[in-house]
Chain A
């Protein structure tokens, strides 16, 4: 199908749906790099005007990535729920945007719709939405997931504790974990990115975290973010795997560049389920995504990076994850150039994931060669808090010394909970209070004996930690 329109006497034409979507996308460096971006502001808005009139049904007729060539497309099409789609089947994309913002469209309505939406529909409507629209609609979505704690309840904000160490030193990692726990973080997951992808390292990390969680009865879960095949081998060796992690992407070829396919993810999920380690629920998968990964693998099929990102959420959805997060600024300025582009992308990803029914978190982050700094991160962090983001990262001082980028800190999480009146998961909140780490109301206790013997037990030394005090 071909679309064209006239603005102030000038005609703009778009040859197919993927080019219309790409040209309608708010400006970002990755689409320019791919040669897909609109060439002028007017061309962009022409594409947006035309996109607003595209019937929602059209997305079921025109595949952006061929069905025959791509198992992600097949997943999207084969799993589409026509019954759920009926609520919006007669709308255009523009009408769908207005429908999403209507008072009557509440959390219940959106939850019932999720299975009727494809990633392409969701990406399309996001391109017509202002930042505030993305925030408002996302804030209406309700997605609740459980393993040893309950995530996504209203008024809650969780934190992935990310205690990485460049040499995978277990005691260095333990020091960061204790620091985070004493600052009230770690209720989403304690998740380590290993520097080297080895089964032995992975097992040692899992044993250490499992011991700590068991000893102090912490209502959380652990994860080592090694390659999924490494985690499968760890499970074969009897390692205590709570959650299985994997980076995923929006096309079969992009996933192949990560060394995965849908079958492998299914196999890993079955293996983790068989361990039956969840107490409140059995959502055992943890996925990470990020705009630009398909392009960087040369596997974007001429589709814009934001739409490819939304397609990754169809992969996530298939495996009922506990946690999904978009690592929004990690990839670098050739995909998201500056703070403005990172903020927009973070809001888009969170919105698209939530609308598709996913428990979305966000790694609010940037690298030193992007035109961004912690002030930009504060902005995105705050906006995502308002939008109801499930969780953010907690990295000591926002400085990941292994991955070499800046994320959000334990202090940032506390800021966000304070300013928005958000609390940890109910289970973790009770634990923090029982340990004397926080007081009712969420303030950190002025002094605590919590986890006092943990440093010695973890091999950090014989001293007794007295945490919680102000400087």
Chain B
């Protein structure tokens, strides 16, 4: 009775039963499954060449620009390196400078699984909403933190950058993608200058609704000439909680 009553109202792990005072085996195993999925998501291998093949149908040149963090261990301990371009990447991007309204960056963040699953369908839904925009090359970046979008945008000369990257995996959400846009990318921008659409995944904010919201924010940022806390999301594209602006940059980025 208690089980049905409680579980109807929350996805928290309530009314799990007990053996003595301890967790029954089936619940322990259920927890282990969820934790294993989240852990695997953090350490999942990111596949930039595979992603490049998947994304080339959009007709944009695809470039690869890794961060300064060489591997996962370094990435997890040096968030500052995840916000800087790796050796040679800046020069390569500067070689492709142009007059761009927007550059889209697709990166692993804390869940490569999220990026591989959600980024291609999200871009599929988003690009048709950006007709008339002068788009720069699609940039794929690895071991990247959110603020890397500033250096990438700066190097390419873009007026705005949209970065899609895997969010910190939760126990029930190993494949959640975040989208962070900044108008006027410049190194040293603070997170208060970004807008964020979070929790993009089938069980959270579906890609179609996310694309609507992102397109609206991009359009408003371009019209106003700024992004961030003073740009409030009034897109009305529902499907999730209100995640705008970036709710807790320290935790997500």
The smallest beta-carbon distance between B163 and chain A, in angstroms, is 18
A334 within 8 A of B: yes
Partner of A373, one of B11, B22, B35, B250: B35
Partner of A460, one of B8, B31, B77: B8
Measured CA separation A395–B17 after assembly (Å): 15
Taking CB atoms and an 8 Å cut-off, the chain B residues in 227-246 that contact chain A are 241-242
B16 within 8 A of A: yes
A48 within 8 A of B: no
Is A33 touching B21 in the complex (CB atoms < 8 A)? Answer: no
B202 within 8 A of A: no
If A334-B77, A467-B2 touch, does A404 touch B170 (CB 8 Å cutoff)? yes
The stretch that binds B, out of A1-9, A169-177, A260-268, A380-388, is: A169-177
A45 within 8 A of B: no
Taking CB atoms and an 8 Å cut-off, the chain A residues in 5-30 that contact chain B are 29
The smallest beta-carbon distance between A370 and chain B, in angstroms, is 8
Taking CB atoms and an 8 Å cut-off, the chain A residues in 165-212 that contact chain B are 165-167, 169, 171-176, 178-179, 182-183, 195-196
Measured CA separation A406–B77 after assembly (Å): 20
The smallest beta-carbon distance between B13 and chain A, in angstroms, is 2
The smallest beta-carbon distance between A243 and chain B, in angstroms, is 22
Is B10 touching A33 in the complex (CB atoms < 8 A)? Answer: no
If A399-B13, A470-B18 touch, does A465 touch B42 (CB 8 Å cutoff)? no
Taking CB atoms and an 8 Å cut-off, the chain A residues in 444-460 that contact chain B are 444, 455, 460
Partner of B1, one of A164, A173, A176, A466: A466
Measured CA separation A443–B2 after assembly (Å): 19
> Digit string of B32-43 for contact with A (CB within 8 Å is 1, else 0)?
001100110110
Measured CA separation A471–B14 after assembly (Å): 13
> Which residue of A has the minimal Cβ distance to B79?
A334
Is B6 touching A175 in the complex (CB atoms < 8 A)? Answer: yes
Partner of A176, one of B10, B35, B78: B10
> Digit string of A149-167 for contact with B (CB within 8 Å is 1, else 0)?
0000000000000011111
B110 within 8 A of A: yes
Is A333 touching B13 in the complex (CB atoms < 8 A)? Answer: no
The smallest beta-carbon distance between B43 and chain A, in angstroms, is 9
> Which residue of B has the minimal Cβ distance to A163?
B12
Measured CA separation A166–B247 after assembly (Å): 13
B27 within 8 A of A: yes
> Which residue of A has the minimal Cβ distance to B169?
A368
How large, as a class, is the contact surface on chain A? 35 or more
If A33-B79, A399-B31 touch, does A460 touch B6 (CB 8 Å cutoff)? yes
> Which residue of A has the minimal Cβ distance to B172?
A401
B171 within 8 A of A: yes
A296 within 8 A of B: yes
> Which residue of A has the minimal Cβ distance to B39?
A368
B96 within 8 A of A: no
> Which residue of B has the minimal Cβ distance to A459?
B9
Measured CA separation A465–B14 after assembly (Å): 13
* Best-surrounded residue of B2, B38, B168, B242 (most CB of chain A within 10 A): B2
Measured CA separation A375–B27 after assembly (Å): 16
Is A33 touching B18 in the complex (CB atoms < 8 A)? Answer: no
B23 within 8 A of A: yes
Q: CB-CB < 8 A to B78: which residues of A?
A: 33, 334
Q: CB-CB < 8 A to A367: which residues of B?
A: 168
A409 within 8 A of B: yes
Is A461 touching B12 in the complex (CB atoms < 8 A)? Answer: no
If A32-B77, A368-B38, A443-B21 touch, does A178 touch B168 (CB 8 Å cutoff)? no
Q: CB-CB < 8 A to B19: which residues of A?
A: 470-471
B45 within 8 A of A: no
Measured CA separation A444–B24 after assembly (Å): 15
> Which residue of A has the minimal Cβ distance to B250?
A296
Is B42 touching A337 in the complex (CB atoms < 8 A)? Answer: no
Is B22 touching A411 in the complex (CB atoms < 8 A)? Answer: yes
Taking CB atoms and an 8 Å cut-off, the chain B residues in 164-223 that contact chain A are 168-173
Is A374 touching B5 in the complex (CB atoms < 8 A)? Answer: no
Q: CB-CB < 8 A to A411: which residues of B?
A: 16, 18, 21-23
If A172-B10, A401-B172 touch, does A471 touch B17 (CB 8 Å cutoff)? yes
Q: CB-CB < 8 A to A66: which residues of B?
A: none
B101 within 8 A of A: no
> Which residue of B has the minimal Cβ distance to A414?
B21
B15 within 8 A of A: yes
> Which residue of B has the minimal Cβ distance to A418?
B21
> Which residue of B has the minimal Cβ distance to A465?
B2
B76 within 8 A of A: yes
Partner of B6, one of A179, A296, A417: A179
B80 within 8 A of A: yes
* Best-surrounded residue of A163, A368, A409, A443 (most CB of chain B within 10 A): A368
Q: CB-CB < 8 A to B34: which residues of A?
A: 399
* Best-surrounded residue of A183, A337, A404, A443 (most CB of chain B within 10 A): A404
Q: CB-CB < 8 A to A182: which residues of B?
A: 2
B4 within 8 A of A: yes
Closest 9 CB pairs of A and B: A397-B13, A414-B21, A471-B17, A172-B10, A404-B170, A368-B38, A175-B6, A179-B14, A396-B12
Offer 27 A-B interface pairs, CB within 8 angstroms, sorted by A.
Answer: A32-B77, A33-B80, A165-B10, A165-B12, A167-B241, A171-B9, A172-B12, A175-B9, A175-B12, A176-B10, A332-B251, A334-B76, A368-B42, A368-B168, A368-B171, A397-B31, A399-B31, A399-B172, A404-B168, A404-B170, A411-B22, A455-B2, A455-B6, A460-B6, A465-B1, A467-B2, A469-B17
Residues of A participating in the B interface, judged by any CB pair closer than 8 Å: 29, 32-33, 163-167, 169, 171-176, 178-179, 182-183, 195-196, 296, 332-334, 337, 367-369, 373-374, 395-399, 401, 404, 406, 409, 411, 414-415, 417-418, 443-444, 455, 460-461, 463-467, 469-471
- Extra 5 A-B pairs, beta carbons < 8 Å, given A176-B14, A337-B76, A397-B27: A196-B242, A395-B12, A406-B35, A444-B21, A470-B19
